[in-house]
């Protein structure tokens, strides 16, 4: 089979799928903006838009203009592939940056499988979620307009898949019938409980599962992932649990939303507002995955807060590592957790309630049972092998081509 992957930040959600297809003997081409990363057996083609959207473009349309520019460059690469005589049997693409907008116009007889990560709406998700910052009519109109490239890409796709039921439900009802729900998959061998795990802190101290450790992880420390609420809860948590250490993992950039209006980073803003003991609260920044896994393995309680938005891989890996998880009662967390069975819920906006729930979860009598149930949730429904089997079955169904896997 000839399979074309498209994702501006290779490998993205195709981290396991693309290498598996290559190892299976299929011809794999990957179109991306990312340099400096290679996947064995995968031919990578790097592109760059010729320019960015013009500052004079209406701000509702600026994202669409950028999407068109991304789509144009991908089309030019696809035309080059045609001239080589290389026509894919299937295209697997993430539409989020416009890259798949025009692929169907080049490969007219090739099915497209779209990764349907998110579809923006003015109600029921991130827009207007914070009651202290209600959505304006400008926000609502902008949210609708930012779906232009997503809607067109989905309409051109033959099938799609979303990682969670809630993320699928955000897409237009008329298109949901062609979207499957398949999670990306968690490597439960690499991410699993380890009673011998250790985490060395920047000051040289070593934490183990025998210590009381509260963990918080986000790609970047920002409001979308509840960082301000977590920070505001810390003084009460540290007072109530004098032996606890707090480990915070995440960068200082902005993945979603906006930077602080006063400048600087959200970490700097919150540290000016909330005084915490640097001997007990440790900011590790962005760390390698193996060190991140060790962070989860020594965690006594993992706090995961998010607006109703894309579910973080770190949350699912925390469950796989057997963490006791305290999650915000927001979608799609509610799709994964059952109160008191495989985790606990708290209030995204209420630091006092978060602190109370942290203390409760740290002393809950059923902690070990909850740890086991958390991991079992991943083993039963989201294990990498299971998810890859579903993804491969979808590829076979859409392409009408067999997927042969290597034995063993």
For residues 60 and 93, state if they share a domain: yes
Alpha-carbon distance of 363 to 366, in angstroms, equals 9
Residue 192 maps to a domain: no
For the stretch 279-310, what's the b/e string if a residue is b when 16 or more beta carbons lie within 10 angstroms of its beta carbon? Answer: ebbbbbeebeeeebbbbbbbbbbbbbbbbbbb
Q: What confidence category does residue 132 fall into, taking pLDDT thresholds of 50, 70 and 90? A: confident
Q: What is the pLDDT of residues 340-354, one digit of tens each?
A: 999 999 999 999 999
For residues 176 and 231, state if they share a domain: no
Q: What confidence category does residue 294 fall into, taking pLDDT thresholds of 50, 70 and 90? A: very high
Give me the mean pLDDT over the 305-316 stretch: 97
Q: What confidence category does residue 406 fall into, taking pLDDT thresholds of 50, 70 and 90? A: low
For residues 77 and 160, state if they share a domain: yes
Instruction: Supply the pLDDT for residue 133.
Output: 87
Give me the mean pLDDT over the 136-158 stretch: 97
For residues 377 and 387, state if they share a domain: no
Q: Quick check: 89 and 5 in contact, CB under 8 A?
A: no
Instruction: Supply the pLDDT for residue 408.
Output: 47
Q: Quick check: 178 and 160 in contact, CB under 8 A?
A: yes
- Does 150 have pLDDT greater than 60? yes
Residue 104 maps to a domain: yes
Q: Quick check: 6 and 31 in contact, CB under 8 A?
A: yes
Q: What is the pLDDT of residues 172-188, one digit of tens each?
A: 999 999 999 999 999 99
Instruction: Supply the pLDDT for residue 257.
Output: 86
Residue 65 maps to a domain: yes
Q: What is the pLDDT of residues 241-285, one digit of tens each?
A: 999 999 999 999 999 988 999 999 999 999 999 999 999 999 999
Residue 407 maps to a domain: no
For residues 90 and 203, state if they share a domain: no
Region of 324 on the Ramachandran plot (φ > 0 left; ψ -120 to 50 alpha; else beta): beta
- 101 by DSSP, 3-state: which? coil
Give the distance from CA 367 to its chain's centroid.
Answer: 27
User: Where in the sequence is the domain holding 174, given as residue range(s)?
Assistant: 2-185+383-399
Instruction: Give the E-state strand segments of 72-129 in sequence order.
Output: 90-93, 112-115
For residues 313 and 392, state if they share a domain: no
For residues 117 and 217, state if they share a domain: no
Range with the poorest average pLDDT among 41-45, 131-135, 395-399: 131-135
Residue 388 maps to a domain: yes
Give 326's strand partners. Answer: 303, 344
Residue 168 maps to a domain: yes
Please state the length of the chain.
Answer: 408
Instruction: Supply the pLDDT for residue 14.
Output: 98
Angle at alpha carbon of residue 24, lines to 21 and 27, rounded to 5°: 60
Give me the mean pLDDT over the 387-397 stretch: 97
- Domain containing 140 — which CATH number? 3.40.50.2000
Instruction: Supply the pLDDT for residue 366.
Output: 97
- Both tokens of 285, joined, read 């920044």
Q: What is the pLDDT of residues 67-87, one digit of tens each?
A: 999 999 999 999 999 999 999
- Long-range CB contacts for residues 167-175, cutoff 8 Å, separation at least 24: 167/116, 167/117, 167/118, 167/310, 167/311, 167/332, 168/116, 170/118, 170/119, 170/120, 170/121, 170/124, 170/125, 171/116, 171/119, 172/119
The total of structural domains in the chain comes to 2
For residues 390 and 322, state if they share a domain: no
For residues 324 and 204, state if they share a domain: yes
The model's pTM is: 0.95
Pairing of strands 27-32, 2-6: parallel
Q: Quick check: 179 and 159 in contact, CB under 8 A?
A: yes
Residue 159 maps to a domain: yes
For residues 152 and 239, state if they share a domain: no
For residues 135 and 175, state if they share a domain: yes
For residues 122 and 171, state if they share a domain: yes
Residue 327 maps to a domain: yes
Instruction: Supply the pLDDT for residue 407.
Output: 52
For all residues of the chain together, what is the average pLDDT?
96
C-beta neighbour count of 63 within 10 angstroms: 20
């Amino acid at each position: 089979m000839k399979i074309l992957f498209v994702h501006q930040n290779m490998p993205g959600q195709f981290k396991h799928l693309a290498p598996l297809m290559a190892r299976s003997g299929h011809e794999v081409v990957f179109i991306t903006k990312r340099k400096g990363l290679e996947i064995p057996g995968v031919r990578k083609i790097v592109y760059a838009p010729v320019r960015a959207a013009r500052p004079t473009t209406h701000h509702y349309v600026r994202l669409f203009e950028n999407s068109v520019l991304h789509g144009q460059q991908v089309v030019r690469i696809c035309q080059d592939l045609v001239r080589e005589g290389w026509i894919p049997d299937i295209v697997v693409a993430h539409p989020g940056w416009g890259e798949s907008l025009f692929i169907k116009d080049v490969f007219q007889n090739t099915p497209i499988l779209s990764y349907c990560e998110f579809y923006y709406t003015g109600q029921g998700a991130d827009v207007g979620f914070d009651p202290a910052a209600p959505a304006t009519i400008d926000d609502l109109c902008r949210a609708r307009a930012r779906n232009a490239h997503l809607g067109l890409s989905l309409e051109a796709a033959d099938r799609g898949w979303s990682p969670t039921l809630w993320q699928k439900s955000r897409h237009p009802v008329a298109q949901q019938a062609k979207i499957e729900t398949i999670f990306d998959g968690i490597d439960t061998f690499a991410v699993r409980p380890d009673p011998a795990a250790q985490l060395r802190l920047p000051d040289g101290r070593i934490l183990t599962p025998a210590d009381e450790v509260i963990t918080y992880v986000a790609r970047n420390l920002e409001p979308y992932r509840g960082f301000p609420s977590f920070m505001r809860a810390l003084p009460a948590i540290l007072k109530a649990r004098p032996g606890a250490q707090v480990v915070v993992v995440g960068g200082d950039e902005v993945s979603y939303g906006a930077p602080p209006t006063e400048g600087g980073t959200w970490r700097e803003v919150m540290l000016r507002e909330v005084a915490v003991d640097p001997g007990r609260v440790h900011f590790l920044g962005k760390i390698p995955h193996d060190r991140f896994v060790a962070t989860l393995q020594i965690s006594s309680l993992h706090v995961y807060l998010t607006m109703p938005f894309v579910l973080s891989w770190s949350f699912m890996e925390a469950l796989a590592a057997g963490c006791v998880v305290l999650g915000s009662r927001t979608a799609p967390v509610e799709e994964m957790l059952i109160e008191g069975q495989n985790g606990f819920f708290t209030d995204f906006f209420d630091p006092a309630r978060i602190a109370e729930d942290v203390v409760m979860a740290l002393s809950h009598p059923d902690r070990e049972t909850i740890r086991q149930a958390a991991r079992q949730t991943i083993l039963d429904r989201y294990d990498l092998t299971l998810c890859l089997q579903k993804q491969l079955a979808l590829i076979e169904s859409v392409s009408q081509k067999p997927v042969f896997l290597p034995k063993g």
